[in-house]
Structure 1
């Protein structure tokens, strides 16, 4: 293998079953919701399996859990963003970005990594009618695992 080929091959952080990573992804999403400590309507989506970028389908995988929360005011969701920024580090997360993004709406965005658990989270706050669109105040959350190798004898069969 050439050096160039080697550098483009994704590097899994370990070997885990899809079911184990799925369960941990759900647990982490639940913990983030607990930190938010707000009543609202959560979307019904569950975690989904993705192929790691540049990997052969079925060999390496990561788990994504995108979900949203609506039913609260701009002021309440703004306070949730501050709470996440303050409380995630107390639970092992490192805030890697907090501020307005470059979208038309200039949405407030938080990105954090959990080095030990090997997960990342991105939370985006869409204020009411932001960016010229009509929308309810919304938090968009995306929890993503690291890239894992499938254990010998197992297959990734849910995409």
Structure 2
């Protein structure tokens, strides 16, 4: 798997900064993502894709998600050959064309599945899109869910990011 850079790197760095709630930060450096463990990039992206799949199921509606898979980026301030983070950005479009009450339901359901909601409310856009930011300490992932209610049809945008992984000894980030 290749490291994806450019606009995605900027987006993920902004999301990592905004997603790190109280529990998803290391005590030593609150601006960096938590240590997620030792893993190959392939295993870590598989884990992030699994988290996204679980979130898809929590939406509780029939619909379609965009296809792009997870990506890999550097962990800020760490050796880019040894440390990395994963991300998965995707959009959900409901089959019914409606997302009424889905954000409130997610706010209630996420904590039942190990997520701590750290932010809930309108964003700063002119549309005042409703968003949820949640951390899962056990899975070392965070998610930002934004309800684009004014889209036709309405959609949910999901940005899932992991903590910072380290590759096993003798390996490099792929």
TM-score (normalised: structure 1): 0.82
> Secondary structure, in 3 states, of the residue corresponding to 1:77?
coil
1:41 aligns with 2:64: yes
1:87 aligns with 2:109: yes
Name 1:122's counterpart in structure 2: 144
Displacement of 1:55 = 2.5
How far does the alpha carbon of each residue in 1:96-153 deviate from its partner, in whole angstroms, 9 at most, with x for none? 0010011121110000000111110110011125xxxxx5311100111100111112
TM-score (normalised: structure 2): 0.75
Gaps of 5+ in 1: 1-5, 130-134
How far does the alpha carbon of each residue in 1:80-110 deviate from its partner, in whole angstroms, 9 at most, with x for none? 2112111110011100001001112111000
For the 8 Å contact 2:61–2:94, the answer to whether it is kept is no
Larger radius of gyration: 1
CA distance in 1, matches of 2:61, 2:76: 35
CA distance in 2, matches of 1:68, 1:9: 27
Name 1:67's counterpart in structure 2: 90
Moved segments of 4+, more than 3 Å: 6-13, 71-74
Gaps of 5+ in 2: 1-27
1:54 aligns with 2:77: yes
Of 21, 46, 49, 1:23 maps to 46
1:106 aligns with 2:123: no
Kindly report the root-mean-square deviation, in angstroms, between the aligned alpha carbons of the 2 structures.
Answer: 2.2
Count of aligned pairs between the two proteins: 146
Displacement of 1:56 = 3.0
